[in-house]
Structure 1
Amino acid sequence: MSPSPLNPKTTHYEFLGPAGTLAISVGVPILTYAQYFACSEVAGGCPPALSLHTTCLRVLAALSDPEWWKSLWDTEATIAYFGWYAFCVVAWALLPGDIVEGTTLRDGRKIKYKINAFSTFLLALGITTGLILRNGPEAFTFIYNKWVGLLTASLLMSFLQACYVYAASFRPGKLLALGGNTGNLIYDWFIGRELNPSIGSFDIMSFNELRPGLILWVLINISMVCEQAVRRGGFSQVTDSMWLVLAFQTWYVADGLYNESALFTTMDIITDGFGFMLSMGDLFYVPFVYSLQARYLAFHPVVLGSLRTLGIFLFNFWGYYIFRTANAEKNDFRNGSNPKNLKFMTTARGSKLLTSGWWGRSRHPNYLGDLIMALAWSLPTGFETPITYYYVIFFTFFLMHRQHRDDKACQKKYGNDWDKYTKLVPYRIVPYVY
């Protein structure tokens, strides 16, 4: 298919091009499985008490054993995962919800989105709570026991979706992402060739961003609470650290789902295509990596005590306050409201950029709140292992890369006005630091 004015050929690569995207496509799944085997009861600890030499021998022995490869697959877990995804689709279709319009696309269209992610979340929590109350905590330890099989099933779903949307992007009339039309199969398949791929009114990208992975993240945490409850003799014996992790992450997910409409102004929806990068991130990485702290606490309980519990709670609240108030300022301003009388500059394009409030302190204050919360989620695990801090370390580099992409796009969009703006707001994420 030859390039058109509406779908120009992409002339620049990210992630070091096809070789880099191939390395990420293979490397991220490997690292995610490795994280489990480096921090699990089955492996012998977090990390296992093994020398580097012994660890290498065990890894080589496993990789050369066909039975080990077979152990990554679990038919029962695969049926459960695909059933979970089907449940989310049916809930999207049947539960009532408002219809909202997204931003205007390059072809003049505005996609209509059904808003009912929070309702789906409440339904899933209701069913889960009923199951646990009726049958006890042992009825919901399935996720802990089937971890590897569920991980493999989510990876399979991610791969199948990436292949489908890539193939479907070649149908006539498709609007392509400006960054995913290089003509290189591996790169475009990873980045996402089509912008906002859909099946009828079912928008694949926005659905995956909010429903199956995010809600499953909370259900995984609940399963870890149940696992600890079974081991320790009931919910009354579940540790304060586990309750903190469950509360923090459940609130974070609930907040995102409740404010679903805010998703439709993000870079993911407006400019990015949907490929393996996002399908893997939404379905595979988010629920199974972000829940590491709860999984660790399930087999390695940590008791914090009142003072440390209060301190971590306040630290997380501080991060949430920054995250929520910063996003509220931005959303109000984009919707034509300025209740705080924030200062702004007007660009030659007519766009307005905030230069006071949280957005005057840094160009991405919401990222600062996100990072504070990420650290707060890891602190309940204590300091016996660095592995449980993997999320906050990864998230720091992820947000720095995202900030770099966003700033680069703004530089291209606003030109000299962006240079003027960066002088008014010099800090990227952390005021006075970065």
Structure 2
Amino acid sequence: MADSKSLNPRTQHYEFLGPPGAFLITVGVPLTIYGLYFTCSEAAGGCPPPFDNLFVAAVRAFNDLGWWKNLWDTQATILYFSWYAFVVAAWAILPGDWVEGTRLRNGGVQKYKINAFSTLLLTLGITTGYILRYGPESFTFIYEKWLGFVTASILMSVLQGVYCYASSYRGEKLLALGGNSGNFIYDFFIGRELNPTIGSLDIKSFNELRPGLILWVLIDISMACEQAVRRGGSLANITDSMWLVLAFQAFYVVDSLYNEPAILTTMDITTDGFGFMLSVGDLAWVPFVYSLQARYLAFNQFELGPVWTAAIVTLNGLGYWIFRASNGEKNNFRNGKNPKNLKFLQTERGTKLLTSGWWGWSRHPNYMGDLLMAIAWCLPTGFNTPITYFYPIYFAVLLIHRQRRDEESCQKKYGDDWKKYTEMVSYRIIPYVY
């Protein structure tokens, strides 16, 4: 018991304003996912709907039992849970290397099966064959059953959050340092157990890369098929704006899954527990919020032209270059490689902090690349509505929060060395701006 207590001390510091904030986010995230549909869809009357009727329509809907029943779709729920089962089966059946993660504070290591990219290729192969055989109209069901799929993904998120919270009390589990407060609401949201598993399946890393990210691509494909059907039924009629969104977001997913081992050093994997925050983020928020631009273009079709297309492609390419080059420098350095002879600060802990290259420009240059890509994904939707720009606004808030969490942890870890480092690298994310 003494060993367990020393390994799993009580959480003394709350994030997100503690239990009240955790409760509000737990309720607010699903409401936001639904809200983005009801403020940006044909069914609601536009993107956004007419403001003079918005409040009255909302009150009328909330008092209509039929409106609440419309949030549930049995067929969509069966399809979603079947999709999740397929991804689990692919993880189990497809070959993949087993890779060790970072060493845990109990001295052990977690092992992860690396085959997310193979799962994506299998999924895209099946999807492509299905569309070629039955036509684009056969793959518009995600657009048509959007609300049902959202509800199913939230249900799955709740079930996994409850399961992981309950199972964290069974046996001697290694808990997340930030999720052991003793408050049910807060620990359920943050995640109590660091690495919940079922057999050899690590639930956290699995959800982080597979079901939500791959579904995001499938949703974009469904939105492109919906647009193709409306424009004559041929895939050749899809607009350049839709192709850009599909290409950018699919490439991001492909790159993430191809570089799957890189995720094993992120805070989500090494530090955070797996609770409702990550489950709803991975399973519901990512696929159904990040695909907003494609869903908008399904019912608001327009061509960008070669000039705008080239400009947006250039911006996305710049963001990707910064993101990938900076992460490459960091991963090489962490693995004991320094091909560019980058400068660094030697800390008293024995570790080294990069102070040149991309990491000399700012402490989080990869975040800057991420933000540029996020803006590029939204530009194909034009400027007729601010709602399609929700993603980069939200993402900026998320990245700033992550940056502050990371730097607070580094301040405790490195002490005076961290102060020296921040004097050498003064900008947090964007040089000369922040």
- 1:416 and 2:406 correspond: no
| Secondary structure of the corresponding residue to residue 350 of structure 1 | coil
Q: How far apart, CA to CA, are the structure 2 residues paired with 1:50 and 1:362?
A: 42
User: Aligned-pair distance for 1:302?
Assistant: 2.0
Higher alpha-carbon deviation: 58-67 or 306-315: 58-67
Amino acid of the residue matched to residue 253 of structure 1? Answer: V
Amino acid of the residue matched to residue 296 of structure 2? Answer: Y
Match of 2:161 in 1: 162
- Whether the 8 Å contact between 1:241 and 1:303 is mirrored in structure 2 is yes
Q: What is the CA deviation profile of residues 180-201 of structure 1, one whole-angstrom value per residue up to 9, with x for unaligned ones?
A: 0000000000000000110111
| Secondary structure of the corresponding residue to residue 428 of structure 2 | coil
- Whether the 8 Å contact between 1:220 and 1:291 is mirrored in structure 2 is yes
| Secondary structure of the corresponding residue to residue 105 of structure 2 | coil
Q: How far apart, CA to CA, are the structure 2 residues paired with 1:56 and 1:48?
A: 10
Match of 1:293 in 2: 293
- 1:339 and 2:361 correspond: no
Q: Which runs of 4+ in 1 moved over 3 A?
A: none
Amino acid of the residue matched to residue 44 of structure 1? Answer: G
Match of 2:30 in 1: 29
Match of 1:328 in 2: 328
- Whether the 8 Å contact between 1:411 and 1:418 is mirrored in structure 2 is yes
Alignment of 1:388-407 (within 5 A): 388-407=388-407
Match of 1:39 in 2: 40
User: Aligned-pair distance for 1:344?
Assistant: 0.4
Q: How far apart, CA to CA, are the structure 1 residues paired with 2:278 and 2:403?
A: 17
Match of 1:4 in 2: 5
- 1:63 and 2:66 correspond: no
User: Aligned-pair distance for 1:323?
Assistant: 0.3
User: Aligned-pair distance for 1:50?
Assistant: 3.4
Match of 1:255 in 2: 255
Q: What is the CA deviation profile of residues 367-409 of structure 1, one whole-angstrom value per residue up to 9, with x for unaligned ones?
A: 0000000000000000000000000100000100010000001
| Secondary structure of the corresponding residue to residue 99 of structure 1 | strand
Q: What is the CA deviation profile of residues 155-213 of structure 1, one whole-angstrom value per residue up to 9, with x for unaligned ones?
A: 00000000000000001210000000000000000000000110111000000000000
Alignment of 1:118-133 (within 5 A): 118-133=117-132
User: Aligned-pair distance for 1:236?
Assistant: 1.2
TM, length-normalised to structure 1: 0.99
User: Aligned-pair distance for 1:64?
Assistant: 1.3
| Secondary structure of the corresponding residue to residue 173 of structure 2 | coil
- Whether the 8 Å contact between 1:367 and 1:429 is mirrored in structure 2 is yes
Amino acid of the residue matched to residue 325 of structure 2? Answer: T
Q: How far apart, CA to CA, are the structure 1 residues paired with 2:97 and 2:220?
A: 29
Q: How far apart, CA to CA, are the structure 1 residues paired with 2:422 and 2:123?
A: 44
Alignment of 1:197-212 (within 5 A): 197-212=196-211
Q: How far apart, CA to CA, are the structure 1 residues paired with 2:225 and 2:397?
A: 32
Amino acid of the residue matched to residue 222 of structure 2? Answer: S
The answer for unaligned runs of 5 or more in structure 1 is: none
Q: How far apart, CA to CA, are the structure 2 residues paired with 1:167 and 1:89?
A: 21
Question: What is the CA RMSD across the aligned residues, in angstroms?
Answer: 0.9
| Secondary structure of the corresponding residue to residue 5 of structure 2 | coil
Q: What is the CA deviation profile of residues 24-80 of structure 1, one whole-angstrom value per residue up to 9, with x for unaligned ones?
A: 0001111110110100011111011231xx211111111111111110000000000
Amino acid of the residue matched to residue 188 of structure 1? Answer: D
Amino acid of the residue matched to residue 433 of structure 1? Answer: V
Match of 1:382 in 2: 382
- Whether the 8 Å contact between 1:302 and 1:380 is mirrored in structure 2 is no
Match of 1:196 in 2: 195
- 1:185 and 2:221 correspond: no
Q: How far apart, CA to CA, are the structure 2 residues paired with 1:66 and 1:417?
A: 60
Q: How far apart, CA to CA, are the structure 2 residues paired with 1:237 and 1:269?
A: 42
Q: How far apart, CA to CA, are the structure 2 residues paired with 1:288 and 1:393?
A: 16
Amino acid of the residue matched to residue 285 of structure 2? Answer: Y
Amino acid of the residue matched to residue 29 of structure 1? Answer: P
| Secondary structure of the corresponding residue to residue 101 of structure 2 | strand
Amino acid of the residue matched to residue 186 of structure 2? Answer: Y
- Whether the 8 Å contact between 1:242 and 1:380 is mirrored in structure 2 is yes
User: Aligned-pair distance for 1:91?
Assistant: 0.1
Q: How far apart, CA to CA, are the structure 1 residues paired with 2:416 and 2:161?
A: 38
- 1:112 and 2:93 correspond: no
User: Aligned-pair distance for 1:428?
Assistant: 0.5
Q: How far apart, CA to CA, are the structure 2 residues paired with 1:286 and 1:337?
A: 33
Alignment of 1:139-288 (within 5 A): 139-233=138-232, 234-288=234-288
Q: How far apart, CA to CA, are the structure 2 residues paired with 1:224 and 1:55?
A: 25
Q: How far apart, CA to CA, are the structure 1 residues paired with 2:302 and 2:403?
A: 35
User: Aligned-pair distance for 1:235?
Assistant: 1.2
Q: How far apart, CA to CA, are the structure 2 residues paired with 1:148 and 1:10?
A: 37
User: Aligned-pair distance for 1:148?
Assistant: 0.3
Amino acid of the residue matched to residue 97 of structure 1? Answer: G
- Whether the 8 Å contact between 1:77 and 1:153 is mirrored in structure 2 is yes
Q: How far apart, CA to CA, are the structure 1 residues paired with 2:239 and 2:249?
A: 16
- 1:50 and 2:51 correspond: yes
Q: How far apart, CA to CA, are the structure 1 residues paired with 2:330 and 2:20?
A: 37
Q: How far apart, CA to CA, are the structure 1 residues paired with 2:19 and 2:373?
A: 34
Q: How far apart, CA to CA, are the structure 2 residues paired with 1:22 and 1:50?
A: 29
Q: How far apart, CA to CA, are the structure 2 residues paired with 1:200 and 1:178?
A: 23
| Secondary structure of the corresponding residue to residue 4 of structure 1 | helix
Amino acid of the residue matched to residue 14 of structure 2? Answer: Y
Q: What is the CA deviation profile of residues 231-280 of structure 1, one whole-angstrom value per residue up to 9, with x for unaligned ones?
A: 00111111000000000000000000000000101111101000000000
| Secondary structure of the corresponding residue to residue 42 of structure 1 | coil
Q: How far apart, CA to CA, are the structure 1 residues paired with 2:237 and 2:110?
A: 49
| Secondary structure of the corresponding residue to residue 5 of structure 1 | helix
TM, length-normalised to structure 2: 0.99
Q: How far apart, CA to CA, are the structure 2 residues paired with 1:101 and 1:150?
A: 34
